Amino acid sequence: TLFRSDYHATLSRALGRRGDVALTYERENYSAANAALGGASTRSDLSAIVREKLNARLSLHAGVTVHASDTAGIPASASSPVSIADVRAGVTQAELGAEWRATKQLSLSAQRDQSIGGFDATQPAQTTAQASYDLGGRGRIYARELWTDSPLQLAATTGEIASAGSATHALELGIEQ
């Protein structure tokens, strides 16, 4: 997009015939978009993931991801008397997941991301479960359920999206082509 610079790099290496290890770095830079407001924002992720295919239907993966975000404050102005303070956050998460191909078209997967260091309200520990149905060359449909250990918080807000007593899950239904 016009006001954003994204970077993505992956180094992957096969581990025998059934697995691989991948080192990935991603960075999203929103500085230009926020410059008019007087602020800047970046998000970086560095991950190392090992995948192993146990048989034709079952595969496992495990790894570690370091998430870091940095949002420069937006000063108060005549048009907006509210200022936003600098926010720097980082969290390290361990990841463990499995995918099972029930049929040629249907696959089921689950993944747990557990925080093992640091804190970032926008990246809580979470569990994801998904069912996908392949439509051949026309894409796929899926249902994905996400459970988080704490309510999500937007980087530029000081309040929670949902109160602590509210549910911390979301259901997503989609079609990909």
What is the pLDDT at residue 149?
85
What value does the mean pLDDT of the chain take? 80
Encode pLDDT of 46-77 as tens digits: 999 999 999 999 999 999 999 888 776 655 55
- Range 173-177, long-range pairs (CB < 8 A, 24+ positions): 173/141, 173/142, 173/143, 173/144, 174/141, 174/142, 174/144, 175/139, 175/140, 175/141, 175/142, 176/139, 176/140, 176/141, 176/142, 177/138, 177/139
Residue 165 has pLDDT above 50, yes or no: no
Distance CA 98, CA 53 (A): 10
Nearest to 90 by CA among 135, 60, 136, 121: 121
SS3 state at 134: strand
Among 81-90, 119-128, 154-163, 166-175, whose mean pLDDT is lowest? Answer: 154-163
Return the pLDDT at 84. Answer: 56
Place 24 in a pLDDT band, splitting at 50, 70 and 90. very high
The pTM assigned to this predicted structure is 0.71
Q: What is the pLDDT of residue 157?
A: 41
| Residue-level pLDDT at 20 | 95
Kindly indicate the confidence band of residue 36, based on its pLDDT and cuts at 50, 70 and 90: low
> Counting beta carbons within 10 angstroms of the beta carbon of residue 21, is it exposed (0 to 12), middle (13 to 18) or buried (19 or more)?
middle
What is the average per-residue pLDDT within 32-50?
72
Check residue 2 and give its pLDDT.
46
